[in-house]
Chain A
Amino acid sequence: MKILVALDVNTYSSKIVKDVARLAQNTLADLVFLGVQNGTDELDQTLLSTLMRYQQDIYSYFGRDELPYAEISSEKWSKTGKGDWSVSSKGMKEFTLRILAGTISKQVVQAATDMECDLVILGCSKEFGCEWDGEMNVPLRIAEDSPCSVLVIKQSRKSDQIVSILDQSVVNQDALEMVNQIVTINDAGLKIVGVKDKNEDKESEIEKRMVELLTYYNEREVHAWVKLINSENVKEYVTNASREAIVALWMGGKQSLIKRLFSKSMIDQLLETSKSSVFILR
């Protein structure tokens, strides 16, 4: 698993380091810490030292002889392109620090695509909506445009429940595995909520899908609950669930009912309302 963590110098970024460390400790993932700066001429030394500090923080969570990453020297930073600086170390797993110049959301999405990441993680402010460095739409754009799953951590806390909302579209294997990891790491209960179109027959595809998923989890001794709700109630349900649990939205294919129901403004609203984390699964 390769995780890209978008970070800046603000408090919400420093607060997600602990969550990232927990994820890294459990999954032994390759990590990419990405910072984005405005100008292109000179490397932002404050951002550089902040990323180096976060990297050291991650290392400090690992016990002696348990660290899967090699040390990184600040002198090894190199310019690999216009407005593109990076340094990486290869131990058993790879750790990359990278700074790009440009627009934060575009650069995060581009880097996640180029580096073939499986998950993007970022924090956002909890006081006023879901802001990144004073901008409201950064987390939304990344959640919308990223090629892989995105975890937006609004408030760092261990959640007892993951509420996973799915519809009739195909359950992507990568998304299923990502939910499994988050459930395992949080030692959380899993509630699978199926969204049923009011026009569907009784024996709908979504019901079949939920039975399959329940069987899948039972076979692996993972306790999961299932619940079926009508499409007209989904927004209210998700908004309420997001107050306590991590909400995972399976943004399926073109036919995805959730994708249709959750317009950009709805994801934005969810990011604003949530008190913990929002997980966009792909």
Chain B
Amino acid sequence: MTTEQTTILILDDEPIVSKRLKPSLEKKGYEVEAFTKGADALARIQEKQFNIVITDLKMEGVDGMQFLTAVKDKYPDTEVIVITGFATMATAKESFSKGIFDFLAKPFKLGEINEVIAKAEAKIKAN
């Protein structure tokens, strides 16, 4: 990765999530791209590696688990943060087995995800 600015991709089919997250993260200096359709996000990761990927698991027409698997397969050093409104032990375990950085159940406050992103960023910079 050559860019100094930390890049973040957000995938959530509920526009309100990106609408809330994107401006807040951009204000903190991150370069953010937000997607509501899994196919678009999948196409984008073929073109570009992001430092951090934030993805929902249960979305219309796309399996978030498949998306995060695709991200980790292609870019093992990209840190993936799962956000889900339908959290289960099984999905948490499966997500961690695929090497995600953290798992956040919705609802959450912006401060909570900001803290997780900062930790992921610190890990990336330390490596």
Which of A's residues lie within 8 Å of B, judged by CB? Answer: 1-2, 25-30, 66, 92, 116, 118, 173-174, 176-178, 180-181, 184-185, 219-222
How far, in angstroms, from A2 to B111 measured CA to CA in the complex?
A: 11
A1-B106, A26-B92, A174-B107 known; A184-B86 Cβ under 8 A: yes
Chain B contact residues (Cβ within 8 angstroms of A): what range?
20 to 34
Whether A177 pairs with B85 at a CB distance below 8 angstroms is yes
28 pairs, A vs B, C-beta closer than 8 Å: A1-B104, A1-B106, A1-B112, A2-B108, A25-B89, A27-B87, A27-B105, A28-B87, A66-B93, A92-B102, A116-B111, A118-B109, A173-B107, A174-B107, A176-B85, A177-B85, A177-B107, A178-B107, A180-B86, A180-B106, A181-B85, A181-B87, A181-B105, A219-B61, A220-B59, A220-B60, A221-B58, A222-B86
* A-B contacts at CB below 8 angstroms, number: 63
A1-B107, A177-B107, A178-B107 known; A184-B88 Cβ under 8 A: yes
- For the complex formed, measure the closest distance between the CB of A61 and the CB atoms of chain B, giving whole angstroms: 11
Digit string of B84-127 for contact with A (CB within 8 Å is 1, else 0)?
01111100110000000011111111011000000000000000
Whether A184 pairs with B87 at a CB distance below 8 angstroms is yes
- Per the 8 Å Cβ criterion, residues 1-43 of B in contact with A are 13-14, 16
With a CB–CB cut-off of 8 A, which chain B residues contact A220? 58-60, 86
Whether B85 pairs with A180 at a CB distance below 8 angstroms is yes
